[in-house]
Structure 1
Amino acid sequence: MPLSRISKEVVGLLLIALFIFLFFFIDSINLTHLKSVIPKSWLNVNTIFLSIFFEAIPFVLIGVFISAFIQTFISEDTLKKVFPKNYLLAIIPAALIGLIFPVCECAIVPIVRRLIKKGMPLHVGMVVLVSTPIINPVVFASTYYAFSTFPSMTYYRLGLAGFVSVVIGLIVYFLYGNRDVLRESKKPEKHHHGTHHVHRSRWQETLYHASDEFFDTGKFLLIGAFVASLFQTFFDRSFLMGIASDIHLSPLVMMGFGYVLSICSEADAFIASSLSHTFSVPSLLAFLVFGPMIDFKNTLMLFAYFKKGFVIGFICIVVAVVYLSVVYVPILFIGIR
């Protein structure tokens, strides 16, 4: 195993241990001296940051361990057995597969690639790719907890994600059929099922998968929580309110925010909740639905595993469907703004 991979796994395991320790014992650490020398505005940043971060961490830990377990113990052939033979009927269970096999947005890309190589229709694979990171029990729980004062957001998110996933699947089916859009990549697949070394048990491999994924996930959560806390503390409220009040611009801004931050779907609800006093429900839904489907990190993976023309077309489809859905579907069917 390369030294860099070993170092990453060790750091990931140490971070898991550190975050568990801080989660239970942060209140016992004496920060009185630091509070006397740090400006009040930065103390506010610190408070918001820690609030977002430590609320999200338990769900991230649950998510990475479930995802790692599935990577190690569940084969793609098992997943394929869930889907009916009919191309169009298969879209529905594909949109709901995350309820049984919850996998994060970075791990799902190589899994979908392998499923397509084994004969899964392209459009069904794309539905699995966009739906699984959102429509799963861990994301349901984290969103419900993050929006405890507005629990309907949880159902709006999962319902809209299901609707969007089905529409994306139908568009991909009619535009691309079942043509070959995979590229032969020399890049090794990071989350490959069954690649554990002979001297490791499957449970050891699960632990290492979890630490590796937690390392990747944790850094994006750190960045997202920090940016959100800076937004709330230093950003010009009048400017933010100007963007948020524009029902056509604000969803695009929040979609861009979700794309750049690349926060995992188990934690992004806490970032959205911290902005709920500024942005409308459709704008928050744009962030919560688009980010897990397409973000910066899984775009790189899509270009590694699929042909460039298809990836560009697929991203355009997702952008258009999500934007039109969050702008018009909530207004027409839910009555929210």
Structure 2
Amino acid sequence: MQPSIYDFLFNFSSVLWEAMPFVVLGALVAGVLEEFLPQEFLTRLLPKSVLPAVMIGAVLGLLFPMCECGIVVVMRRLLRKGLPLSCCIAYMLAGPIINGVVIFSTWIAFRDHKIGPEMVGLRVGLAFVIACATGLIVHLQYKKYGNALLTPLTAPPPVQVDDANEPRIERPRQPFMQRLGNISSTALHDFVDIMVFLILGSVLAALARVYITEQQIEVISRDQPFLAIPAMMFLAVVMCLCSEADAFVAASFTKMHVSAKIAFLVLGPMLDLKLILMYTRVFRLRLIVTIATSVVIQVLVLCVALHLIYQASGWTGLPAGATLK
């Protein structure tokens, strides 16, 4: 059956409306952070060493759970508040996976397949490793290029140093209603700014969904097992699923190896069409290419290694009762 305008509109609206509530939530959280979070406050709480700081950033999703769409807005405000770029990248990549809601939904999706804990452990573990490694790579780039990696709307303002002979003038306390207005203004600005690129990403995702079906990917992975992992990675990029629901889609591929499903579940919340366009409002092209290259290579290598470990140990990597033929 030929693709129709209805198919395109259905796919477009499903991606857009799935992501929009989280963008709204992220914009509101960003407004609160901008108004109430003191400059450099989070930086003073982090360890001085880069690796522990990045590792803390990777697990911030346990305290501040957020979908990948909303987390971009929040991360931009955290950057302006002085949180190191490496920590923000680790939080942005791992936060949509390492949080209670996604962990529970992943376990529920694979519970009937008898591999729920296995899938949760692999998804969380690989996400943590990839997020930390990418954060460290970005830290090396930041040491060389500094805030040139960020857009003007994202780069933190320059630190103002008071004259030694002049006392610091404290900012007068604003009335509550004025502060509420500041939060609304910031949230509305961030929402409009990000929504433009979310809509463009939804259009691209809808076109991809019309011409590339899940059945085609499953046939390729069944007939060409070595292509299963990159095929599922490609599907994750074009489908633009929410991290709270993608586990149920992955679970529907009952005859696919665990390694290919993990590739789908780890890459999707870190990199898809709508996220790439949303990243352009935060990062310069150099940093976007660095993040995308690092994430794709790590997911591919780690999932291939996982597949080989399953083969060497004799595990099937399939749900209970499933076979490849």
Change (3 A) 1:336 1:62: farther
Q: Take 2:27 and 2:316, find their aligned partners in 1: how far apart are those partners?
A: 37
Q: How does 1:279-298 map to 2 (within 5 A)?
A: 279-298=256-275
1:319 pairs with 2:296: yes
- Answer yes or no: is the 8 Å Cα contact 1:131–1:161 preserved in 2: yes
With the length of structure 1 as denominator, give the TM-score of the two structures.
0.63
Change (3 A) 1:178 1:111: farther
- Cα distance, 1:95 vs structure 2: 0.9
Q: Take 2:184 and 2:219, find their aligned partners in 1: how far apart are those partners?
A: 49
Q: Secondary structure at the match of 1:325?
A: helix
- Alignment-derived partner of residue 124 in structure 1: 87
- Cα distance, 1:267 vs structure 2: 1.4
- Cα distance, 1:248 vs structure 2: 3.6
Of 106, 124, 146 in structure 1, the residue corresponding to residue 69 of structure 2 is 106
Of 110, 126, 129 in structure 2, the residue corresponding to residue 163 of structure 1 is 129
* 1:193-250 alpha-carbon deviations (Å, 9 max, x no partner): xxxx959789999x999x9999x79x96xx88x959x956xx46xx834424645421
Change (3 A) 1:231 1:295: closer
Q: Take 1:68 and 1:307, find their aligned partners in 2: how far apart are those partners?
A: 21
- Alignment-derived partner of residue 246 in structure 2: 268
Change (3 A) 1:61 1:87: same
Q: Tell me how large the CA RMSD over aligned residues is.
A: 4.6
Q: How does 1:39-78 map to 2 (within 5 A)?
A: 67=26, 70-74=29-33
Q: How does 1:123-162 map to 2 (within 5 A)?
A: 123-150=86-113, 151-152=116-117, 153-162=119-128
Q: Take 2:63 and 2:144, find their aligned partners in 1: how far apart are those partners?
A: 26
Q: Take 1:149 and 1:66, find their aligned partners in 2: how far apart are those partners?
A: 32
Tell me the amino acid that sits aligned with residue 273 of structure 2. Answer: F
Q: Which runs of 5+ in 2 are unaligned?
A: 1-9, 155-176, 318-325
Q: Take 1:63 and 1:141, find their aligned partners in 2: how far apart are those partners?
A: 18
Of 231, 252, 274 in structure 1, the residue corresponding to residue 230 of structure 2 is 252
With the length of structure 2 as denominator, give the TM-score of the two structures.
0.65
Q: Which runs of 5+ in 1 are unaligned?
A: 1-48, 190-196
Q: How does 1:83-98 map to 2 (within 5 A)?
A: 83-98=46-61
- Answer yes or no: is the 8 Å Cα contact 1:80–1:115 preserved in 2: no
Tell me the amino acid that sits aligned with residue 88 of structure 1. Answer: L
Q: How does 1:157-306 map to 2 (within 5 A)?
A: 157-177=123-143, 179-182=145-148, 185=151, 231=213, 235=215, 240-244=218-222, 246-274=224-252, 276-306=253-283
- Cα distance, 1:146 vs structure 2: 1.7
- Answer yes or no: is the 8 Å Cα contact 2:220–2:227 preserved in 1: no
Change (3 A) 1:241 1:165: same
After TM superposition, the runs of 4+ consecutive aligned structure 1 residues lying more than 6 A away are 59-66, 199-205, 211-214
- Answer yes or no: is the 8 Å Cα contact 1:67–1:102 preserved in 2: no
Change (3 A) 1:65 1:118: closer
- Cα distance, 1:130 vs structure 2: 0.6
